[in-house]
Amino acid sequence: MTNKNKTCAGCFRTLSDATRVRIIQFLKTGGEKNVNAITKPLGVSQPTVSHHLRLLTDAGFLLRRKQGKEALYSFRDDYPCNGCGVFHAPIRT
């Protein structure tokens, strides 16, 4: 995780995209999923979802776990928020 994402500004910069917020909301309520399981309900292309998953994982919002050839993603409940506590409230879109 980069230093900028340990601040409220970095957190909100990462969350400034509606697709990323929808991915977090989906994983927060639905548990661990692979890319295809995220792509279908959100109605977004697989390359787009993969791009956003990488950004969210790099920023520390998601955990990525390999299972064979597949990658599974989940919301990181212990996200190291050092400021506003945005993840203690429900996410609304």
39-55 pLDDT, tens digit each: 999 999 999 999 999 99
In this model, does residue 15 exceed pLDDT 70? Answer: yes
CA distances from 22 to 2, 41, 68, 93 (A): 22, 10, 26, 7
- Give the pLDDT band of residue 66 (cuts 50, 70, 90): very high
Cβ neighbours, 10 Å, residue 9: 11
Q: What is the CATH architecture of 3-86? A: Orthogonal Bundle (1.10)
Give me the numbers of helices (H) and strands (E) for the chain, helices first please. Answer: 4, 2
Average pLDDT, the chain: 84
CA separation for the pair 15, 46 (Å, rounded): 19
Report the pLDDT value the prediction gives residue 6, as an integer from 0 to 100: 60
Q: What are the structure tokens assigned to 48, written together?
A: 């787009």
Domain boundaries, the chain: 3-86
- Give the pLDDT band of residue 82 (cuts 50, 70, 90): low
